[in-house]
A and B are shown apart, each in its own frame.
Chain A
Amino acid sequence: MKNFRILFLLIALWGLQTALAQDLSGVKIHINPGHGGWDSDDRGVPTPLFPKVGPNLGFWESQSNLDKGLQLRDMLLALGANVQISRTQNRTEDDLRLSVIVRMANEFQADFMLSIHSNAGQGVANYVLMLFAGKSDGDTHIYPTPTPRSDESKAISTEIAKNLIKNRLNNWSTPHYNVSGDKTFARLQMGWNDGYGVLRGLTVPGVISEGSMHDYIPEAYRLMNMEYKWLEAWNFKKAFCTYFKNAEIPTGNIAGWVKDNSLKITDGQYIKYGKDILLPIDGAKVSLVETGASYTVDNNRNGVYVFKDLQPGTYTIRVEAQGYHTQEQSVKVTKNEISYQNIELVKIRNTPPQVTAYSPKVAENETVECSSDIVLDFNWDMDEASTSGAFSISPQREGKITFENNTKRLRFKPRIPFEKSTRYTVTLKRTAKHPDNMSMENDFSFSFTTKDRNRLALLAGFPNNEYKVMQASNPAFYFIFDGKLGSTNMLQQNIQVFDSENKELEKAPMSIRKNKIRKGGYGDVYFETSNPLEAGKKYKVVLGSDVVDNIGMPLVDPIEIHFTASTIQVNDKNVVEDFEGKVGFVYEAAQSRNTQSALSEKSSSERLFGSSSNMLKATFSQQDAFAVYKVSTPSVSSTKGRAFGLHVYGDMSNNELQLELTQGATVKYLSLCKLSFWGWQFVEAKIEEAGDYTLSGIRILRKEGVISGKSTIYIDNLLQYDNLISSWNSPSFEREELALLLYPNPTQKMVFVRSESEEKPVLQLYSIDGSLLKTVLSKEMDISEFPSGSYLMKIAFRNRTFARPVLLSK
């Protein structure tokens, strides 16, 4: 009997405590669910699940705040509190002005005002932030207006933060909560001095609760679950019970998530901390054995389940999902707490793993690109360690193994492309397992043969080793490759221009053009920098190893080209033709060869001096071709030792530009330049042969080149003077004598040296990165054993050494 009395007393005491804890009567709380509606300031967050958000579609902070607020209101009303809530619907008209919200709380004479929000952390951060009215401790900044500190506000902010940080359903980016004065936070983090409007003018202690970060996608998914929001509301309630009554909630809760123990969420490229990477099991059924209650996980990729308001004790949770082993867990429920129990279900994998598809899969007489990846598809998700260990390729090739499609796909990417014309055999040993520890029944093997190209080759470009000067005011870059180029983004990232301090220069996004060459499968890219260069300064352009063509073939060896910026203009010599009057040269079809069409006209679009230049245009019908443009009225005479200089806007055609000089009935051509540059250059040539000459025309002579079939160039200010200019306004400008010729260039196989000397030079072929590839003592070299691309030929005579770029195009 005595024992019964004690038991009764204990029950009565427990009941009393329960009653006290449940009693918030007389306490007045204003709830402000932040924002309202589906407008741009209501924080709709697109997710892979809902790429487009709209009314009642996808995550909206305005709706999430309201869900939390309404659930909190109901909890507080149940405890007898007097609650005012600033909105009960999610409409634009409910998005009250900050001044109205503040006034409502003031006139309600609330004991506390809670403004419920979630925050944005640029998709990366996810932490608890509480903003109380006033300055943080230690903030000595003088604000434009006095800032009363609310200690009550800080006290309850801290209480809420302590509760929220215990959440084990999510993965915080930092384990510490942040409780800050709103003025301090706004100044330091947001850049304004007046703090947050919803805390200004409050006569009530208030807090802005940024319970988590909604643009961290896994958190956005969780915040779309009503029970998850209930947990946050419950934590608010607990904080109020502690703050106002120093009382505990007599019941407890169980919350957690249900996820696959190994499959990963693969719906998008976003940050996933800790086990946020695991795949939530939509539709999993979670039951509470003792009460018979059950919960079905929603389809919003969060895995969340919650059992609310449970009497303290030990409970059994049973979790079932189709295709998974059922799992049971024992959970202890404590009053005033949330017991977190996350469940990782194990898939039922009851057959051995096997390869269901693979690539490259080709007939024995077919070949595959050297840049191909090796891909194996399986019937099950695979154990990464054992599967990686079972993979091999012969001949051996370095590479990286990754898993995709929730480890149902293995991808092997060679570090550099496979060797040319080589037969490879891929083997996956039977030791490869799936996570249920079941191995393959047999080894799996297949073979393939590669094509004879394993590098993307740079065929031509500007700047280059021959033309190392670029117009400072209009920097333009142009490169031609032996394959159509990949994405513009890839080019943006992998082709970079640096100044002499290694600071990258921004490319003008709208200037980037690629793959404009239609014939022959060639790829090209043109771009300009956003800002002009500084004349006289040195720069470099780097083509990175990851420049790839549209089948993924990389450049492999990076190319670095140094150049100098210049005004290009030569101003201190005698101008014999400024191209400002009538057109300087007139196309002469009768003297031209295999020229389909040609044109010469004044141009104001590209000019270096005055208001116009002379545009020369030609389309050739055969390789052996040239276009001649005649001087309208020949009047410029010259003689041996005199030099002509011309400002030329090149077109990368690789054709040759020549001046036509007439000596009586004899016509001679003075080579000015190879048109292997883009934009303006100054070029010059000296008359070495004796005699008196008259300038009678100009000629474009077609040469070997990817785009030599058409030429469009501009010429401006033709100069005549004594002796070549060895150095003009570019301090680094160097010009090698033209007494040596390396031809043909580009070549498919052989290169020859033609020089005035009979001496056989030492020819040394270097790769672009400076590696010596081949040496011969000869005036010729076969370079066909090397891949297509750019090389440097060193030509060493006893007294003089030259260097020339060589383009190999096979």
Chain B
Amino acid sequence: MKHRSTLLTTLLVLAGLSLQAQSISIEKVQQPIKQKGFYPKLSPSGAFMTFTSEAYGGLSLYRFSDNSVEQVSTDKGSGFDPVFSTNEKKLFYKQINYESRLRKEGVKSYDLEKKTELEMLRPRRNVRQLQAYKDGVITHAESKLFRSSTSKSKEAISNYVWSDGNNLNVFRNNKTTAINPIKGARGYIWTSLSPNAKMILFHAAGKGSYVCDWEGRIIAELGDLNAPVWYGNDFVVGMQDKDDGHFVTESKILMKSLDGKVEKVLSPAGEIAMYPAASGKASKVAYNTLAGDIYVLDIRITK
């Protein structure tokens, strides 16, 4: 009962925020990078964008300020979910290698000003997703939380969310919990923390995408939406892809408000558009096509 009333309260708050009808429009579409790229990631401010190859090998950085592209890494797996530090001076990414045919991952950082690389965590098993922390990064590996920082700041980790593929885990108030909010989900993937660190976005395999709070109470049901990412605290961008069991047959990029009142397809009809990235601060959404073309959209939300 408590669960239901909390949910109701949350929905009412969200509804109150959106009393005026909102609309989403695309202001500009550009294809800033001529080379093929996949899985773009926008920095929180929207000043930078990373991209990688079809199987996440190698990592490239695009600077919107001067339209330059630089190769950050050629490591295997380095393109898989890199993160920017909160001050956007560093870029953190993983590398995959195999020892005795078992997968190990290490963490590296890239200084965006000096353009230098630094090893943050030596390769080990089960290094989970990276989360920005001050000028460093947080991850979970081998049953432990790791905090790597390039400064001397030792501020305690306040929160961290990650998936091991099967469980949705949170670290908060110095405690780790598997919250697993959706009964019958085959696994939890594409988990992320909202910019205000109050909500968790995730996809429950076989069930759909959701937003919950730190206790696992569902705030928003986003339905059929894959690879969801935050656009500010009120919107999520994801893809609706379909396949025939062999290959992807269609996919579009969709933007949804958490209150369910606003929904907009951002990609043109007929294009197979996948794996969006978003920066609410910069009003930008990026995605790649099946053929590896990256598009960046300028978005406008009006009330």
Q: Which residues of A contact B (CB under 8 A)?
A: 26-28, 30, 34-35, 41, 84-88, 93-100, 103-111, 133, 144-148, 150, 152, 186, 190, 192, 194-197, 200-204, 243-244
Which residues of chain A are within 8 angstroms of B76 by Cβ–Cβ distance?
A: 203
A192/B55 in contact, CB under 8 A: no
Q: Given A99-B248, A99-B274, A104-B189, verify A148-B165 contact (CB < 8 Å).
A: no
Q: Please tell me if B163 contacts chain A, counting CB pairs below 8 Å.
A: yes
Closest approach, in angstroms, between the C-beta of A92 and any C-beta of chain B? 10
Tell me the bound Cα distance from A84 to B244 in angstroms.
Answer: 23
> What chain A residues lie within 8 Å of B270 (beta carbons)?
none
Q: Are A203 and B206 in contact (CB under 8 A)?
A: no
Number of A-B contacts (CB under 8 A): 134
Known: A97-B241, A148-B54. A197 touches B187 (CB 8 A): no
Shortest CB distance B292–A (Å): 5
Q: Are B54 and A145 in contact (CB under 8 A)?
A: yes
**Residues of chain B from 199 to 247 with CB closer than 8 A to chain A in the complex:** 203, 205-206, 226-227, 239, 241-247
Across the interface, do A244 and B101 meet the contact criterion of CB distance under 8 Å? Answer: yes
Residues of B within 8 A of A (CB): 36, 38-39, 53-57, 76-77, 80, 96, 98, 100-103, 105, 125-129, 163-166, 186-187, 189-190, 203, 205-206, 226-227, 239, 241-248, 274, 290-292
- Are B96 and A100 touching (Cβ within 8 A)? no
Using Cβ atoms and an 8 Å threshold, which residues of chain A touch B103? Answer: 28, 109-111, 204
Q: Please determine whether B291 and A144 come into contact, CB atoms closer than 8 angstroms.
A: yes
Whole-angstrom CA separation of A93 from B127 in the bound complex: 30
8 Å CB contact of B246 from A133, A197, A202: A197
Are A201 and B54 neighbours in the complex by a CB distance under 8 Å?
A: yes
Contact of B189 among A93, A100, A133, A197 (CB under 8 A): A100
With contacts A84-B165, A108-B164, A109-B165 taken as known, whether A96 is within 8 angstroms of B206 at the C-beta atoms is yes
Tell me whether A107 and B243 are in contact (CB under 8 A).
Answer: no
Q: Measured between alpha carbons, how far is A205 from B181 in the docked complex, in Å? A: 30
Chain B min CB distance to A58 (Å): 19
Residues of chain B within 8 A of A84, CB atoms compared: 165-166, 187
Q: How far is the CA of A195 from the CA of B54 in the complex (A)?
A: 12
A-B interface, 8 closest residue pairs, ranked by CB to CB distance from nearest? A108-B165, A107-B165, A148-B55, A197-B247, A103-B189, A145-B292, A98-B243, A203-B77
Query: Do B125 and A203 touch across chains, with their CB atoms under 8 A apart?
Result: no
The distance in angstroms between the C-alpha atoms of A97 and B274, with both chains bound, is: 13
Q: Which residue of A lies closest to B251 (CB)?
A: A99
Question: Of B80, B98, B186, which contacts A152 at CB under 8 A?
Answer: B98
Query: If A145-B36, A145-B291, A244-B102 touch, does A107 touch B163 (CB 8 Å cutoff)?
Result: yes
The reply to whether B245 and A41 form a contact with Cβ atoms under 8 Å apart is: yes
Q: Which residue of A lies closest to B204 (CB)?
A: A100
Q: Which residues of A contact B243 (CB under 8 A)?
A: 97-99, 197
A499, B68: Cα distance in complex, Å: 66
CB contact between A27 and one of B57, B102, B247 (< 8 Å): that residue? B102
Contact A106 B80 (CB under 8 A): yes
The one of A95, A100, A190 that contacts B203, using a Cβ cutoff of 8 Å:
A100
Q: In whole angstroms, what is the CA distance A201 to B189 when docked?
A: 15
B36: chain A residues at CB < 8 Å are: 145-146
B190 partner, pick from A103, A109, A110, A194, beta carbons under 8 A: A103
Contacts of A202 in B (CB 8 A): 55
Residues on B with C-beta less than 8 A from A95 are 245
Complex Cα gap A72–B169 (Å): 27
Contact (Cβ within 8 A) A34 B245: yes
Distance, CA A129 to CA B185, complexed state (A): 31
Give the distance to chain A from B267, nearest Cβ to Cβ, in Å.
Answer: 15
Complex contact B189–A107 (CB within 8 A): yes
Further pairs besides A105-B165, A148-B55, A244-B102: 5, Cβ < 8 Å? A100-B226, A107-B163, A107-B164, A109-B105, A197-B247
Q: How far is the CB of B107 from chain A (nearest CB, A)?
A: 13
> Is the CB–CB distance between B56 and A147 below 8 Å?
no
Q: Do A99 and B241 form a contact, CB below 8 Å, given A108-B164, A145-B36?
A: yes
User: Would you give the shortest CB distance from B151 to chain A, in whole angstroms?
Assistant: 29
Assembly CA distance A104 to B188 (angstroms): 8
Complex: how many Å from CA A213 to CA B105?
A: 38
Shortest C-beta distance, B207 to chain A (Å), equals 8
Q: How far is the CB of B251 from chain A (nearest CB, A)?
A: 8
In whole angstroms, how far apart are the Cα atoms of A201 and B226 in the complex? 14
Contacts of A106 in B (CB 8 A): 80
| B164 partner residues in chain A, CB cutoff 8 A | 107-109
Q: How far is the CA of A100 from the CA of B241 in the complex (A)?
A: 10
Residues of A within 8 A of B96 (CB): 203
Please determine whether A104 and B246 come into contact, CB atoms closer than 8 angstroms: no
Whether A200 pairs with B206 at a CB distance below 8 angstroms is no
* Contact status of A108 and B246, CB under 8 A, knowing A86-B186, A96-B206, A201-B56: no
